[in-house]
Amino acid sequence: MAQAALKDTSVKEFEKKQEWWWAAEKKRSKRLDYLRKAIWKKGAIGGLYAPGVKVDLERAQLHTQKAKEMEMSPDAYVIKFAKMFAHILDNKTIFITDHAQLVGYTGSLPHTMGWDPSAASILNEEAFNDPTAIPDPVDVNQKVIREINNYWIGKTDLDKMMPVFDMEDLMKMLSGSIGWGVPLARGGYSSKDYEYIMTGKRAFAAIIDELDRKIDEVDEEVHQPGANAEISKAYDKLNNWDAMKITLEAGIRIAKRYARLARIIAENFEEDPKRKEELLKIAQTCERVPAHPPRNLQESFQYDIFIQMMSRTEAIEGAWPSRPDYYHGPYYDKDVNIDKTLTREEALDLVGEFIIRAAEVCQFKPKWTREGLQGIDGTWVWTIGGVDRNGKDACNDLTVALMQAARLVRVANPTLSFRWHPKVKDEVMREIFECNRQGLGYPNMRNDPILVANTMHWYGHPIEEARLWANQACLSPCPTTKHGFQPMRMANATANCAKIIEYVFTSGFDPVVNMQVGAETPDVATFKNFEEFFAAWTLQMQTIFSILVRAVNRARTLAPTMTPRPFLSGVSERSIESGLDTLDPSIERGNSWITAFTWVENVDSLAAVKKLVFEDKKYTLAQLKEALAKNWEGLEEMRLDFVKNAPKWGNDDDYVDDIMLRCLDEAAKFSKVLKDPSGNNWPILPENVSGNIHYANIVGALPNGRRLGDALYDGGISPGPGLDKKGPTAVLKSCGKIDHITGGRAFLLNQRLSPTQLAGEKGYQLWSSYIRTWADLGIDHIQFNMVDDATLRSAQKDPEKYQEVIVRVAGYSAHFVDVSRKTQDNIIQRTVQGLG
Amino acid sequence: MTTCKECKSFFPLENDQTKGDCVQRVKDPRQAYYQSRPAKADDDAGACGSFQKKQKT
- Cα(A47)–Cα(A79) distance, integer angstroms: 36
- A139: burial class by Cβ within 10 Å (0-12, 13-18, 19+)? exposed
- Cα(A431)–Cα(A348) distance, integer angstroms: 15
Q: Provide the residue range defining the domain that includes B14.
A: 4-40
Contact B38 A34 (CB under 8 A): no
A203 and B CB contact within 8 Å? no
- Cα(A130)–Cα(A584) distance, integer angstroms: 36
Whether B12 maps to a domain, the answer reads yes
Which residue, among A302, A246, A301, A267, has the nearest Cα to A90 in the 3D structure? A246
Q: Please report which helix (H) or strand (E) contains residue A420, including its range.
A: strand A415-420
pLDDT for res B57 = 58
- Cα(A539)–Cα(A723) distance, integer angstroms: 28
Whether B50 maps to a domain, the answer reads no
Contact B33 A93 (CB under 8 A): no
User: Which residues, at least 6 apart from A681, have a Cβ–Cβ distance to it below 8 Å?
Assistant: A458, A459, A590, A592, A671, A672, A674, A675
Contact A97 B33 (CB under 8 A): yes
pLDDT for res A2 = 67
Q: How many angstroms separate the CA of residue A645 from the nearest CA in chain B?
A: 54
Whether B56 maps to a domain, the answer reads no
Nearest to A261 among B23, B28, B32 (CB): B23
Write down the ipTM of this complex: 0.98
Contact A264 B11 (CB under 8 A): yes
Domain count, chain B: 1
- Cα(A292)–Cα(A205) distance, integer angstroms: 6
pLDDT for res A836 = 67
Residue type, A621: L
Q: Which DSSP letter does residue A45 get?
A: B
pLDDT for res A46 = 74
Interface test with A, best of B21, B33, B35, B55 (most A CBs within 10 A): B33
CA distance to A174, A404, A786, A789, per residue, from A433 (Å)? 42, 11, 10, 20
- CA torsion sign, A660 to A662 to A665 to A666? negative
Contact B32 A96 (CB under 8 A): no
- Cα(A826)–Cα(A834) distance, integer angstroms: 19
Nearest to A38 among B31, B34, B37 (CB): B31
pLDDT for res A656 = 98
Residues of chain B contacting residue A269, judged by C-beta atoms under 8 Å apart: 25, 34
DSSP readout, A165-203? S-HHHHHHHHTTSS--S---TTSSB----HHHHSSSS--
B54 and A CB contact within 8 Å? no
> Which residue stretches of chain A have pLDDT < 70?
1-2, 811, 836
Residues of chain B contacting residue A91, judged by C-beta atoms under 8 Å apart: 37-38
Q: How many angstroms separate the CA of residue B30 from the nearest CA in chain A?
A: 5
- Cα(A95)–Cα(B37) distance, integer angstroms: 9
Residues of chain A contacting residue B29, judged by C-beta atoms under 8 Å apart: 52
Do residues B33 and A95 touch, judged by C-beta distance below 8 A? yes
Q: Please report which helix (H) or strand (E) contains residue A381, including its range.
A: strand A381-385
Residues of chain B contacting residue A264, judged by C-beta atoms under 8 Å apart: 11, 21, 23, 34, 36
- Cα(A417)–Cα(A473) distance, integer angstroms: 10
pLDDT for res A400 = 98
pLDDT for res A369 = 82
Do residues A413 and A812 touch, judged by C-beta distance below 8 A? yes
Q: How many residues does chain A have?
A: 836
Whether B46 maps to a domain, the answer reads no
Helix axes A30-38, A397-409, angle to 10 degrees: 60
Chain A stretch 501-520, residues whose beta carbon is closer than 8 A to a beta carbon of chain B: none
Number of H helices, E strands in chain B: 0, 3
Whether B19 maps to a domain, the answer reads yes
Nearest to A52 among B11, B25, B29 (CB): B29
pLDDT for res A692 = 84
B52 and A CB contact within 8 Å? no
Chain A stretch 249-288, residues whose beta carbon is closer than 8 A to a beta carbon of chain B: 257, 260-261, 264-265, 268-269
